Homo-oligomer: A and B are copies of this chain.
Amino acid sequence: MRYRLYYWPEIQGRGEFVRLALEDAGAAYDDVARSKAGMAEMMAVMNGKGGQHPPFAPPFLEAGKLVVAQVANILFFLGPRLKLAPRDEAGRLWLHQLQLTVTDFVKEIHDTHHPIAGSLYYDDQKTEAKRFTHYFLKDRAPKYLGYFERVLASGGPYLLGRRLSYGDLSLFQLVAGLRYAFPAAMQRIERKLPRVVAVHDKVAARPRIQAYLASKRRLPFNEWGIFRHYAELDS
């Protein structure tokens, strides 16, 4: 099965959580919107081309006739197929629950620079962004990351125990992205997260992930994506 991933071509964004799973598994896939005419193809699927179910927003994945949207849903679908999830129902639901907590966290990370409206520029909501980020770095980021630390402490070294899952790849991306966006705050926050940092390091050392991160397929972090570095927000 060759997968077709559709996502905005200029950012890691939410699509990156899917890319990391595909890359770690060595799966064959096209990053459609990054190819010539790919954006037009993406828009056609968004508009319900050929009677397919229209997604609300990218990313979405085409697998044969199936179109699956929402990062956590895509990973739920891919998990067992890429051997990045258990096959039993209880294990899949628990991993999915963790991934949905990642989803919630990602939305709040996004809101550090866009607390008022996605349709406005950052500069037009900078005052609110500063206030939001203050509470984000003080309360929310430590709470979410502390939760994952607690899950790891009850088993480990990975979220599900001995075997890596797509949840660990997402945890890697959270740490990498937060370090990019908030280097000063993360130095402080990470002190209480040895197990989370260990997952980050283990994932970064996996041969396929290493190769991916060194390739052009890995887009650099920038100020259009989810994780943005604005020095004035980092405390």
Chain A residues within 8 Å of B, Cβ to Cβ: 48, 51, 53-56, 66, 68-70, 72-73, 76-77, 90, 93-94, 96-97, 100-101, 103-104, 107, 111, 115-117, 119-120, 128, 131-132, 135-136, 139-140, 144, 147, 150-151, 154
Taken together, the copies of this chain in the complex come to 2
12 A-B pairs with C-beta separation under 8 A: A53-B151, A54-B150, A54-B154, A55-B97, A56-B144, A66-B90, A70-B101, A73-B93, A73-B96, A116-B128, A117-B132, A120-B135
Known A100-B70, A115-B115, A115-B116: A147·B56 in contact at CB below 8 Å:
yes
A135, B115: Cβ atoms under 8 Å?
Answer: no
CA distance A100 to B103 in the complex (A): 10
On chain B, the residues within 8 Å of A76 by CB distance are: 93, 96
Q: In chain B, what residue has the closest Cβ to A70?
A: B100
CA distance A69 to B103 in the complex (A): 14
CA distance A107 to B110 in the complex (A): 13
CA distance A72 to B70 in the complex (A): 12
On chain B, the residues within 8 Å of A115 by CB distance are: 115-116, 128, 132
CA distance A110 to B120 in the complex (A): 19
* Interface class of chain A by DSSP: helix
Shortest C-beta distance, A25 to chain B (Å), equals: 19
CA distance A52 to B107 in the complex (A): 27
On chain B, the residues within 8 Å of A48 by CB distance are: 150, 154
A131, B116: Cβ atoms under 8 Å?
Answer: yes
CA distance A150 to B70 in the complex (A): 18
CA distance A73 to B76 in the complex (A): 11
CA distance A147 to B135 in the complex (A): 32
B116, A97: Cβ atoms under 8 Å?
Answer: no
Shortest C-beta distance, A140 to chain B (Å), equals: 8
- 10 tightest A-B CB contacts, nearest first: A117-B135, A70-B100, A56-B101, A69-B97, A70-B97, A73-B97, A128-B128, A53-B94, A56-B147, A116-B132
CA distance A11 to B168 in the complex (A): 34
On chain B, the residues within 8 Å of A119 by CB distance are: 135, 139
On chain B, the residues within 8 Å of A147 by CB distance are: 54, 56
A131, B128: Cβ atoms under 8 Å?
Answer: yes
